Amino acid sequence: MLNVVICDDNVEMVRNVKKIIENTILIEEYEDVQIELATTNPLKVLDLFVNKSKLPDGTFEERAKTLKQRLLFLDINYGDDFPSFDGIKLGTEIRKFDIMSNIVFVTSNGEERADVLNEKIAALGYLKKRLVGDELKSRIIDLLTVARQRMHMTTSTRKMIEFKTGHSKKYVNLADIYYIKGNDIKDKDDERANLGLTILCEAKGITYLKRKLKFYDEEIPELVRLGRSYLVNPLNVVEIKTSGKQGYLTLKNGDELSVLKESLQVYEQEVSELYAKGLL
């Protein structure tokens, strides 16, 4: 399901975008698109992505909520009600917790658009406020169409990956891969230490592989390096969080991968770049 979020300081703009999308859903019979939120308050948008919980020492920990497929229309300027919280800051905050959502910035001039590019938020596109009538409708439908196409690409069985396991080959759907990690079992008395150099974790279980992590890093661009020990499928990440110097990724199968916070930041940047290139 593609969840559409609209946030603009102009009530009329919110109403117009919402109406165009609702009409498109009806006319095109899109059962996989719905309006999730239409608001003038950017803080309500941020609440969709992050949970804050108080720790015993009195500090707060931020965790990403379960991620959804989203298309967000975000105004760049929210006026006097939110003087220190503009659309670029909102997009940057969202990217800390969700590197997959489609972000469209609603803008009124070219300078703002350049600022967005410099922030490397990997926006899907821009919606000019001066557009009206059929031009506005056409632009919104174009953006909605691209977002739906991306959604179906990420949820479809679009690619099979070949793995060699000794004298045999194993084919795994990209969508079913959670991660590949280096085999860190060093005890020679443990039979698992000699089963393979790396371990494939996927929907059907784990498989020991004979090739090094570097090989799969080069061969499967859709998997993203996480620290020194992991290649992760971003499509199967459901939660990203940090605590102190540590970063944590939770996968759809419930596994939690722990790395240094710096490694997590590099991972998030690489995923944003792949997403901007249309590889995810």
Q: Using the 8-state DSSP alphabet, how is residue 120 labeled?
A: T
**Which pLDDT does position 95 carry in this prediction?**
84
Q: Would you call 258 helix, strand, or coil by DSSP? A: strand
* Token output for 89: 């800051």
> 2-155 architecture in CATH?
3-Layer(aba) Sandwich (3.40)
> Residue 27: what are its φ and ψ, rounded to 5°?
-65, -45
**Over the stretch 196-220, which tens digit does the pLDDT of each residue have?**
789 999 988 999 898 889 999 988 8
- List the domain boundaries for the chain: 2-155, 160-276
How many whole angstroms separate alpha carbon 225 and alpha carbon 202? 16
Q: Which of 242, 172, 232 is nearest to 207 (CA)?
A: 172
- Furthest-apart CA atoms within the chain: distance in Å: 73
Cβ burial of 72 (10 Å; 0-12, 13-18, 19+) is buried
pLDDT for residue 240 is more than 80: yes
CATH code linked to domain 160-276? 2.40.50.1020
How many whole angstroms separate alpha carbon 79 and alpha carbon 70? 25
Cβ-based neighbour number of residue 143 at 10 Å = 19
pLDDT for residue 153 is more than 60: yes
Pick from 79-88, 110-119, 186-195 the range whose average pLDDT is largest.
Answer: 79-88
| Averaged pLDDT score across all residues of the chain | 84
How many whole angstroms separate alpha carbon 249 and alpha carbon 235? 12
Pick from 24-28, 237-241, 258-262 the range whose average pLDDT is largest.
Answer: 24-28
The residue assigned the tokens 């931020």 is 62
> pTM for the full model?
0.59
Cβ-based neighbour number of residue 110 at 10 Å = 10
Confidence band of 157 (pLDDT split at 50, 70, 90) = very low
